[in-house]
Amino acid sequence: MAIVLVAGAASAADNGGRSSERNSKLAALPDNTALDLGRYECEGRVPGLNCGTIFDYSRISYDPQAHRMLVFGGGHAATGRTDVDAFDLATLTWKSLYPSMSCEDVKRADLDLRGFHRSTGHPAARHTYDQNVVVDVKGRTLLMMFSNEGFSGHCHSYKTTIEGVASLPLDGSAPKWEYSAQSRMPWGYSGAAEFDPVSGMVILVNAKSRSTLWVYDPRTHSIAAVVALGSPNESSSNLVYYPPGRQMMLIDSKTGEVREIVLDRTDWRKSTQRLLNVSGDGPGPIRNLAYDSKNRVIGGVKRGVFYAFDPETRTWTSQKMRAMSNDAAEVGNVAHHALEFDPVNNIFLFVTDRGSGRRTWAYRYRR
């Protein structure tokens, strides 16, 4: 697929290119402690779009270029937002990278079959599941969106055709979305994706009865390989890259089962997947997991408990999180995939769901 540039999308982000510096408040955070950073507020920036549901079945991703967390999501019956929201890890505040389209603008019939609004270049709203990935392509840092969920709803027509991979360059002050040429994206809307820094490829798995793995080349926007893994993968599962072993770990969203995907980068067709025999106190069904590069574990949050999986020992451990909150808030549950790790501050950043007050938290597992 050739790449197509689409004009339109942005005002300047005021933290583009900022060097990564530790935040003093986060630096002081004790072990096993979650710091309440306040309610997620967006109504003043994105009026009339039910803006807080941006996290519904959607993922946040760490941007090392500007030391921030990024989210594009919602969609379906949740929200019609077309902006990328960013959490600045220096100021600990949320700010849209560019203004969202209004509901009136979204309703106009100007959608390209690749899944974006021609008038602005903004992607059509959608749930992004575990399919938003920050990649490095020849020195460029991009946020790539692989979800092709067409149930856009809430301002959009309910069924929207999405047949193109969306990419947002993160190395400039005025980001503009780019789109691949129109082509059917075969991996399904609720699968999982992860960047493989060894090969420079994006690895995708689907959520059908026989799991398939795709190797996607972000440099050429083409599928480099298709591998039949032969094992089921549930919708909205978690794919996490584990650097020490240079493999992918796939954690089932409905059972918590852990599968190891060993990538053969010389012959992708020889890549394999196997179900691991794990021990310890596992979380069961879970959708939010990220790799802690300081402690070399894969961590997630459920009902105020932090779960850590050690791929070396294949063991789960858990601990009740201590909460630091001026409002006496409890941690509760994370909103779907809204959890990511910040390697500069050595913390997990996550947003809780509506039932837990939709708050932003920073959590340190261990120094």
Mean pLDDT of 302-317: 98
Instruction: Reply yes or no on whether the pLDDT at 205 is more than 80.
Output: yes
* pLDDT recorded at residue 97: 95
* pLDDT recorded at residue 210: 63
Q: Topology of 3-364 in CATH?
A: Neuraminidase (2.120.10)
Instruction: Reply yes or no on whether the pLDDT at 5 is more than 60.
Output: no
* pLDDT recorded at residue 11: 36
Structure tokens at 203: 């690895």
* Segment among 63-67, 204-208, 252-256 with least mean pLDDT: 204-208
Confidence of residue 13 (pLDDT cuts 50, 70, 90): very low
Confidence of residue 6 (pLDDT cuts 50, 70, 90): very low
* pLDDT recorded at residue 75: 84
Residues with Cβ within 8 Å of residue 319, at least 6 apart in sequence:
32, 305, 306
CA geometry: angle at 97 spanning 24 and 349, to 5°? 40
Q: What are the structural domain ranges in the chain?
A: 3-364
Residues with Cβ within 8 Å of residue 267, at least 6 apart in sequence:
none
* pLDDT recorded at residue 325: 94
Instruction: Reply yes or no on whether the pLDDT at 57 is more than 80.
Output: yes
Instruction: Reply yes or no on whether the pLDDT at 233 is more than 90.
Output: no
* pLDDT recorded at residue 16: 43
Pair type for strands 33-39 and 322-324: parallel
Mean pLDDT of 271-284: 96
SS3 content of the chain, % helix, strand, coil (to 5): 5, 40, 55
- Residues 41 and 151: their CA atoms lie apart, in Å, by 25
* pLDDT recorded at residue 156: 78
Mean pLDDT of the chain: 91
CA geometry: angle at 33 spanning 27 and 35, to 5°? 70
Mean pLDDT of 51-62: 95
Residues with Cβ within 8 Å of residue 145, at least 6 apart in sequence:
72, 123, 128, 131, 132, 165, 166, 167, 168
What are the DSSP calls for 208-257, one per residue? SSS-EEEEEETTTTEEEEEEE--S---TT-EEEEETTTTEEEEE-TTT--
Confidence of residue 341 (pLDDT cuts 50, 70, 90): very high
Instruction: Reply yes or no on whether the pLDDT at 8 is more than 50.
Output: no
CA of residue 347 relative to chain centroid, distance: 16
pLDDT tens sequence across 70-113: 999 988 889 999 999 999 999 999 999 999 999 899 888 799 99
* pLDDT recorded at residue 286: 95
* pLDDT recorded at residue 209: 55
Mean pLDDT of 24-40: 96
Of 102, 125, 87, residue with least CA distance to 48: 102
* pLDDT recorded at residue 306: 98
Instruction: Reply yes or no on whether the pLDDT at 21 is more than 90.
Output: no
pLDDT tens sequence across 315-326: 999 999 999 999
User: In 43-136, which residue ranges form alpha helices assigned H by DSSP?
Assistant: 103-106
Torsion angle, alpha carbons of 164, 169, 174, 180, to 10: -20
Tell me which residue has tokens 């650097």: 243
* Segment among 82-91, 126-135, 201-210, 273-282 with least mean pLDDT: 201-210
Instruction: Reply yes or no on whether the pLDDT at 288 is more than 90.
Output: yes
* pLDDT recorded at residue 234: 80
Torsion angle, alpha carbons of 233, 234, 235, 238, to 10: -70
* pLDDT recorded at residue 19: 53
